[in-house]
Homo-oligomer: A and B are copies of this chain.
Amino acid sequence: MATPYTRRNFLKTSSVMAVSAAGGLLTVGCGGGDSGSDELLPLVNPYYTQAVHGPYERISIGRLELAEGGVLPNCELAVATFGTLNADKSNAILIPTWYSGTSKIMEQVYVGPDHALDPSKYFIVIVNQIGNGLSTSPHNIGGALGGPNFPKVRISDDVRAQHRLLTEHFGIRSLALVVGGSMGAQQTYEWAVRYPDMVKRAAPLAGTACNTEHDFLFTKTLKDALSSDPGFDAGRYDLPEDVAAGLGRHAKMWTVMGWSTEFFRLNRHRALGFDSLRAFVDGFMIPYFAPMDPNNLLAMAWKWQRGDVSLLTGGDKAAALGRIKAKVFVMPFSTDMFFPPSDCLAEQVLIPNSAFRPITTVDGHLGLFGTDADAIAQVDLNLRELLALPA
């Protein structure tokens, strides 16, 4: 394996060489302009690759103007599809991704012939959210928008980008279902509110339409764990390893809030193959986050904090949720510590044609990972019922 070039290596070498190449792994554009103190070359990160998360296709949807005022001049979405679009294009299902996740885990846990999301019946499109490392992201965009200079992206920007992808690239005008967990649920809600005629059914798992203040602060503590690491260096680190301490603290905080007190009391972590909580943290949680790019995580976290469908209706949450025409099953996970059922129920009652379908599990929010087969079976049962409802 070639020694990975890093951003600072590039900057150092680019000061004496006009063009460089990263062992064939990257095509590096010329920054031009001044000596590039704000120009960051893309980082090579072997985690965000076809080898780890493929197959996926990167599809450009062109220039994307962002809600906060920034621009992605060439927004590329990494997309994985399963099944075949039928003749009348009525069998499309969209799955957006969650914080730190990619299309791969959605495929592995939720898609297949044994699941409600069956590629023999549906054309399933999993779109990686902007900033997740496969789609256009802080670590891979390079140039003036690279790293910590990546523009602020909103949930609504992802949904508008996905809308363009589906309509212009795939010619899809109707979605049989939008389903996603956590930040995927935030995008699911945004879809149902923003494009009510297009979304026939929606299934937000373990997520809310309008993020709560409590969740906002939890996410802030996650961000602080990363940005407070001296190795983070205001986002101009070389490699995720430079921010290992911060990523480790971030992983521990995820362990505390991501599962549940019951999960650990019932020794579910032992059932997953770890002798102790320490082994679980060291062997699963820390390694899970360790290869991820901190600026990518921070871009997603900023977006997560501000998920809010009511931005479309002047802050009126009831008006926003009242726009929804889809049949909606609201599916919190019963032991979720930051998207708790109570917060989801408070929204569900504002949605016409909706039902509250909590998933019973002790695995907390991260039951989304598929650690509790019974929870996924409950999700499938609900999705089959939802999909059987007339559009």
Binding site for B on A (CB under 8 A): 212-218, 220-221, 224-225, 228-230, 245-246, 249, 252-253, 255-257, 259-265, 269, 276-277, 281, 337-338, 340, 342-343, 346
Question: What is the copy number of this chain in the assembly?
Answer: 2
Q: Which A-B residue pairs are the 5 nearest by beta carbons?
A: A213-B277, A214-B264, A218-B256, A261-B340, A213-B264
For residue A264, which residues in chain B have a CB less than 8 angstroms away from its CB? 212-214
For residue A230, which residues in chain B have a CB less than 8 angstroms away from its CB? 230
Known contacts: A224-B249, A249-B228. The answer to whether A343 contacts B212 by CB under 8 A is no
Partner of A277, one of B214, B252, B265, B276: B214
Known contacts: A277-B214, A277-B216. The answer to whether A343 contacts B261 by CB under 8 A is yes
Asked whether B256 lies within 8 Å of A214 as measured between CB atoms, the reply is yes
Instruction: Report the separation of the CA atoms of residues A124 and B212 in the bound assembly, to the nearest whole angstrom.
Output: 42
Instruction: Report the separation of the CA atoms of residues A269 and B255 in the bound assembly, to the nearest whole angstrom.
Output: 26
Partner of A217, one of B252, B337, B338: B252
> Looking at A213, A216, A246, A262, which has the most chain B CB atoms within 10 Å of its CB?
A213
For residue A225, which residues in chain B have a CB less than 8 angstroms away from its CB? 249
For residue A221, which residues in chain B have a CB less than 8 angstroms away from its CB? 249, 252-253, 256
Query: Which residue of B has the minimal Cβ distance to A248?
Result: B224
Instruction: Report the separation of the CA atoms of residues A253 and B338 in the bound assembly, to the nearest whole angstrom.
Output: 13
For residue A245, which residues in chain B have a CB less than 8 angstroms away from its CB? 228
The smallest beta-carbon distance between A256 and chain B, in angstroms, is 5
Query: Which residue of B has the minimal Cβ distance to A214?
Result: B264
Query: Which residue of B has the minimal Cβ distance to A263?
Result: B214
Instruction: Report the separation of the CA atoms of residues A264 and B337 in the bound assembly, to the nearest whole angstrom.
Output: 13
Asked whether A220 lies within 8 Å of B342 as measured between CB atoms, the reply is no
Asked whether B224 lies within 8 Å of A261 as measured between CB atoms, the reply is no
Instruction: Report the separation of the CA atoms of residues A342 and B266 in the bound assembly, to the nearest whole angstrom.
Output: 11
Instruction: Report the separation of the CA atoms of residues A342 and B246 in the bound assembly, to the nearest whole angstrom.
Output: 32
Asked whether B261 lies within 8 Å of A217 as measured between CB atoms, the reply is no
Ordered by A's residue number, 14 sampled pairs between the chains whose C-beta atoms are within 8 Å are A213-B269, A213-B277, A214-B260, A214-B263, A214-B265, A215-B261, A217-B255, A221-B253, A224-B249, A228-B249, A257-B257, A262-B342, A265-B342, A337-B337
For residue A265, which residues in chain B have a CB less than 8 angstroms away from its CB? 212, 214, 342-343, 346
Instruction: Report the separation of the CA atoms of residues A340 and B260 in the bound assembly, to the nearest whole angstrom.
Output: 10
Q: A214-B259, A256-B257 are in contact. List 10 more A-B contacts (CB 8 A).
A: A212-B261, A212-B265, A213-B277, A217-B277, A224-B252, A228-B228, A228-B229, A253-B253, A261-B343, A262-B340
Instruction: Report the separation of the CA atoms of residues A260 and B336 in the bound assembly, to the nearest whole angstrom.
Output: 12
> Looking at A221, A264, A265, A343, which has the most chain B CB atoms within 10 Å of its CB?
A221
The smallest beta-carbon distance between A185 and chain B, in angstroms, is 16
